[in-house]
Amino acid sequence: MKYFIRSPNGFGCIKKLKGNRYRPYLFAITVDGKQKPVAYFTNYKDACVYRAEYIFKNKQLDHVREVYPSNNKIQEISPPILAKTPMPTFEEIYLEWLPQHKQRNNVSNSTICGYANALRHCETIKDMPINTIKYNNLQAILDNIGQEKLSYSTKKKVRNLMSLVFQYARARDLIDKDYIDLLDIGKNNPVRPHKPFKESEINLLWDNTNSSFIDKVIILLYTGMRVSELLNLKKSDVNIEERYMHITKSKTKAGLRYVPIHKRILPLVKENLNNKGDYLLLNSNTGKKYNYSSFCIAWRKVMEKFKLKHTTHDCRHTLATRLDNVNANEIAKRRILGHAQQTVTEGYTHKNLQELIKTIDLIE
């Protein structure tokens, strides 16, 4: 408990309470030798202003009566009405929580966009005081997502946002319980499960490397990178001589890694290094860096042109499958794909980079 500058006798005291509270500043008075809480505040300044008004109205803090010398009559002094800080809404808690969450967890821009999209589904509760939101309010949102036939992933993201906001509200002592663990999002029934590219499909792409965007598809197939990782890859992160790409931005901590460059895609990578931008991939139509949307549009055009039915994430499944087929070392495979690994030292040496290169070259 943090105490501030000592006040004169009879003026009460202001102290800051321990813990992560929404209103940590307490103004208290002494009654019968014991301190009695009067009001709580979000900041020290408001507490001081309130104390000044309280003293002015009550004259003496240790009595509720005041004797006026002019007529020797005792007049009852009504205590002031305590100012109540409005209970913040779901959206207000979200806006207060997000900057701290970003700073402490170094979350990616794509994750922040995911939170914003999830908040849009919470339209019915965003203006409700956080302590008035009940189980039925939350479950109705998730049920509505199901009725709109949106993905299971969308339900998970919305529930995750609810959980984060309510956890923050509990930490600020705004609520003493939440209903997140009771929420039901059903079972995942994938609309289109991921499937790896066939060898014939990969060969088809190699036969058409002169076609626009094909090189980007092949690079994904032979590196297993996520689209966001590839789009954020700068030329300075690529080492042609030692045959690796250094991923410095990823959705997971394990995703920050060195990816070996397969010998077969070296010419494609070199060609992309010749563009004028800072990033490895450059949108030939705009002359600028790809964003996720423009990359997916170009991807769909290639899939339609060659009558293929694959998503960008199928490339990761393809590389994992191909490495399994050549009996690649499990640790090396995890490092290449950026999967979480609990027993492997995170540091990369020249030796284990060479091991990753040997592993990736096992596939054709």
Domain definitions of the chain by residue range: 2-76, 90-182, 199-360
CA distance 201 to 259: 23
Total-model pTM? 0.54
Please provide residue 40's backbone torsions phi and psi, each rounded to the nearest 5 degrees.
Answer: -120, 150
Q: Confidence band (pLDDT; 50, 70, 90) for 178?
A: confident
Architecture of domain 90-182: Orthogonal Bundle (1.10)
CA distance 110 to 42: 32
CA distance 284 to 328: 36
Radius of gyration of the chain (CA): 31
Contact 128, 169 (CB under 8 A): no
- Which is it for strands 34-41 and 238-239: parallel, antiparallel or unpaired? unpaired
pLDDT at 118: 93
Q: What is the mean pLDDT of residues 28-41?
A: 83
Selected residue with higher pLDDT from 262 and 189 = 262
Sorted by sequence, the CB contacts under 8 Å of residue 292 that are 6+ apart come out as: 110, 227, 228, 231
Quick one: which of 340, 341, 364, 334 has its CA closest to 259? 334
**List of E strands, the chain:** 2-3, 13-16, 25-31, 34-41, 65-68, 73-76, 238-239, 244-247, 257-260
pLDDT at 292: 86
Per mean pLDDT, which range of 76-85, 302-311, 354-363 is the poorest? 76-85
Residues 149-169: pLDDT tens digits? 788 888 999 999 999 999 999
* 3-state helix vs strand vs coil in the chain, percent to 5: 45, 10, 45
Give the range with max mean pLDDT: 33-42, 143-152, 306-315: 306-315
For 84, counting Cβ atoms within 10 Å of its Cβ (0-12 exposed, 13-18 middle, 19+ buried), the class is: exposed
Sorted by sequence, the CB contacts under 8 Å of residue 324 that are 6+ apart come out as: 333
Cβ atoms within 10 A of the Cβ of 216, count? 22
Above 80 in pLDDT, residue 255? no
Above 90 in pLDDT, residue 89? yes
User: For 199-360, which CATH class?
Assistant: mainly alpha
Report CA-CA distances (Å) from 227 to 10, 129, 258.
66, 39, 16
Task: Tell me the residue type at 53.
Answer: E
